[in-house]
């Protein structure tokens, strides 16, 4: 084809003019969906305002609703609220009586955060208990509860609690708890950067695990499997977990646990010699120059009566992957402590169950990048702690929206998936352009004729308006 012929096939570009219309638009029509979940939490908002009244100005519930309205858009900076000053739809959608300015938002959170953040966990539990989402039960029938810490880089700041983290950056190390394979967050507890993973974790366990038990009892009624990495390898913590199975909790599912073992200087070379001499049948050779042994030993811990196991895997390498003979053999010793019964789970299955624990790293990334929480917005530790808790609530709202709207046959996304990333939920449901029409004391959202998500958006809006309810 000649150049002239090719140019004739290109449609001519029409001139584009820009003008301001005489009606209101919103680029975040999805806040109307978020508002249904916030409205369902009205009993909690009333308890908050009754417990922490203000004489004049913005109620604390309006402060919380406002900031949640920013977080579900992926905006954590307090100044982002200025973009919604005078925006009637933002207030109407989220049920806000009085919208705070950015200084008011910052100052109120700084002043009252330590009093407010105890109100958030019951909101998270009420929301999830009422909605009964598909948490994602493991194929073995256990419901995973993955708990871990991760680093938030806040280097170059003088924020309270910032310190050198295990990741080698200056920042924070929050503890996150995710229920199920689909990433519903029960807690995002801020910690100073220097705090060790296991330090004081039993206090988080005493709150998180019973909440997970109650949520599982509401459905899917599955036993829990608490999974933690080697930073939590502590007999004290194991006893705290086991205490959640104490008599006096009828109707709650039992809790098992699977924790990566910390070898703490174990003699791997000596163990190789011991296995060669006493249990040579444990070895298998997946390739030349590599031997692997997998076995289990009985584990006894004072204060825990039921039988426990420690699964161990030892790898010896005398030839590397490139075929190079090693002068000195390399050893890799790993282990996992668990309460899962040997009659039900083989050693190989224990290793596989722990390997699946790594999925939660994706959820950490969603907090940091998609909810814009890598660098927290305040210089005060308590304020940033509350921000993290509200982020957990915002994440769950987005998870619920994605599961309810973006996995069905009318979803604009066609590829198969069991869950949608938070970013995808924002793109497909939050960031929708709509014309705002006030009619008969109501707001009407006019979605465009070319909006590929209009059908699922309208369906979800109707369902939430009709069904979302939370018991006081």
Q: Per-residue pLDDT for the chain (472 aa), expressed as one digit of tens each?
A: 677 666 567 767 788 889 888 888 999 999 999 999 999 999 999 999 999 999 999 999 999 999 999 999 999 999 999 999 989 999 999 999 999 999 999 999 999 999 999 999 999 999 999 999 999 999 999 999 999 999 999 999 999 999 999 999 999 999 999 999 999 999 999 999 999 888 889 999 999 999 999 999 999 999 999 999 999 999 999 999 999 998 766 789 999 999 999 998 899 999 999 999 999 999 999 999 999 999 999 999 999 999 999 999 999 999 998 899 999 999 999 999 999 999 999 999 999 999 999 999 999 999 999 999 999 999 999 999 999 999 999 999 999 999 999 887 878 776 666 678 999 999 999 999 999 988 777 788 999 999 988 999 999 999 998 877 555 4
Question: What pLDDT is stored for residue 7 in this prediction?
Answer: 58
Cα 52 to Cα 69, 115, 121, 173, 177, distances in angstroms? 21, 8, 17, 29, 28
Q: Does residue 10 lie within any of the structural domains?
A: no
- Domain with 215 in it: 132-370
Answer for the pair 291, 275: CB distance below 8 angstroms, yes or no: no
Q: Does residue 43 lie within any of the structural domains?
A: yes
- CATH for 205: 3.90.350
Q: Does residue 13 lie within any of the structural domains?
A: no
Per the listing, tokens 């006081």 go with 472
Domain end marker among 370, 403, 430? 370
Q: Does residue 2 lie within any of the structural domains?
A: no
Same domain, 276 and 396: no
Question: What pLDDT is stored for residue 12 in this prediction?
Answer: 74
The number of folded domains in the chain is 2
Question: What pLDDT is stored for residue 247 in this prediction?
Answer: 77
Per the listing, tokens 């919208």 go with 99
Answer for the pair 235, 301: CB distance below 8 angstroms, yes or no: yes
Same domain, 155 and 82: no
Question: What pLDDT is stored for residue 441 in this prediction?
Answer: 76
Q: Does residue 261 lie within any of the structural domains?
A: yes
Q: What is the pLDDT of residues 332-363, one digit of tens each?
A: 999 999 999 999 999 999 999 999 999 999 99
Question: What pLDDT is stored for residue 472 in this prediction?
Answer: 45
How many CA atoms does the CB half-sphere of 258 hold within 13 Å?
24
Q: What is the pLDDT of residues 244-298, one digit of tens each?
A: 998 766 789 999 999 999 998 899 999 999 999 999 999 999 999 999 999 999 9
Angle at 260 between CA 240 and CA 311, to 5 degrees: 105
Domain end marker among 370, 395, 417? 370
Q: Does residue 127 lie within any of the structural domains?
A: no
Same domain, 309 and 338: yes
3-state secondary structure of 377: coil
Q: Does residue 472 lie within any of the structural domains?
A: no
State the DSSP string of 111-179. Answer: HHHHHHGGGHHHHHHHHHHHH-------TTS-EEEEEEE--EE-TT---TT-EE-TTSSEEE--EEEEE
Cα 75 to Cα 108, 182, 304, 373, 391, distances in angstroms? 18, 23, 46, 9, 10
d(CA 424, CA 318): 46
Answer for the pair 289, 314: CB distance below 8 angstroms, yes or no: no
C-alpha R_g of the chain: 26
Answer for the pair 460, 398: CB distance below 8 angstroms, yes or no: no
Domain end marker among 318, 336, 370? 370
Q: Which residues of 431-455 are buried (b: 16+ CB within 10 A; e: fewer)?
A: ebebebeeeeeebebebeeebebbe
Same domain, 193 and 235: yes
Same domain, 281 and 165: yes
Same domain, 223 and 80: no
Same domain, 114 and 160: no
| β-strands 308-319, 325-338 pairing | antiparallel
Task: Return the closest-CA partner of residue 171 out of 162, 158, 180, 179.
Answer: 162
Same domain, 366 and 428: no
Same domain, 165 and 85: no
For the whole model, what pTM was predicted?
A: 0.93
Same domain, 59 and 112: yes
Q: Does residue 206 lie within any of the structural domains?
A: yes
Question: What pLDDT is stored for residue 6 in this prediction?
Answer: 64
Same domain, 276 and 144: yes
Question: What pLDDT is stored for residue 406 in this prediction?
Answer: 87
Same domain, 60 and 157: no
């Amino acid at each position: 084809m000649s150049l002239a012929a090719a140019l004739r096939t290109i449609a001519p570009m029409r001139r584009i003019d820009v003008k301001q219309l005489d009606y209101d638009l919103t680029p975040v029509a999805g806040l109307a969906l978020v508002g249904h979940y916030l409205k369902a939490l009205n009993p909690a908002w009333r308890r908050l305002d009754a417990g922490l009244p203000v004489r004049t100005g913005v109620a604390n519930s309006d402060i919380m609703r406002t900031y949640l309205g920013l977080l579900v858009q992926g905006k954590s900076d307090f100044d982002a609220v200025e973009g919604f000053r005078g925006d009637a739809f933002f207030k109407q959608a989220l049920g806000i009586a009085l919208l705070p300015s950015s200084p008011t938002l910052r100052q109120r959170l700084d002043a009252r955060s330590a009093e407010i953040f105890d109100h958030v966990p019951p909101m998270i539990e009420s929301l999830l208990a009422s909605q009964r989402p598909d948490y994602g039960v493991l194929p073995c029938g256990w419901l995973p509860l993955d708990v871990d810490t991760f680093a938030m880089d806040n280097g170059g700041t003088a924020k309270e609690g910032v310190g050198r983290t295990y990741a080698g950056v200056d920042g924070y190390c929050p503890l996150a708890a995710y229920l199920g394979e689909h990433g519903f967050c029960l807690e995002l507890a801020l910690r100073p950067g220097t705090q060790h993973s296991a330090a004081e974790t039993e206090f988080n366990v005493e709150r998180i695990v019973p909440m997970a038990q109650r949520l599982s009892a509401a459905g899917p009624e599955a036993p829990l499997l608490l999974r933690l990495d080697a930073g939590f390898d502590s007999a004290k913590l194991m006893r705290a977990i086991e205490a959640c199975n104490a008599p006096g909790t009828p109707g709650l599912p039992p809790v098992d646990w699977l924790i990566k073992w910390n070898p703490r200087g174990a003699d791997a070379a000596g163990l190789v010699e011991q296995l060669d001499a006493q249990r040579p049948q444990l070895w298998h050779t997946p390739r030349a120059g590599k031997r692997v042994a997998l076995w289990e030993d009985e584990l006894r811990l004072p204060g825990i009566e039921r039988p426990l196991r420690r699964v161990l895997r030892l790898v010896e390498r005398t030839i590397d992957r490139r075929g190079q003979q090693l002068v000195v053999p390399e050893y890799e010793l790993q282990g996992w402590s668990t309460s899962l019964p040997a009659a039900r789970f083989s050693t190989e299955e224990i290793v596989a169950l722990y390997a699946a624990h790594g999925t939660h790293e994706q959820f950490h990334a969603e907090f940091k990048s998609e909810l814009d929480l890598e660098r927290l917005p305040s210089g005060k530790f308590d304020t940033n702690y509350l921000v993290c808790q509200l982020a957990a609530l915002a994440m769950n709202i987005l998870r619920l929206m994605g599961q309810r709207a973006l996995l069905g046959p009318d979803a604009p996304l066609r590829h198969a998936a069991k869950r949608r990333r938070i970013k995808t939920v924002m793109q497909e449901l939050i960031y929708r352009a709509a014309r705002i029409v006030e009619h008969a004391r109501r707001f009407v959202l006019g979605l465009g004729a070319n909006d590929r998500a209009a059908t699922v958006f309208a369906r979800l809006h109707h369902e939430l308006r009709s069904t979302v309810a939370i018991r006081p």
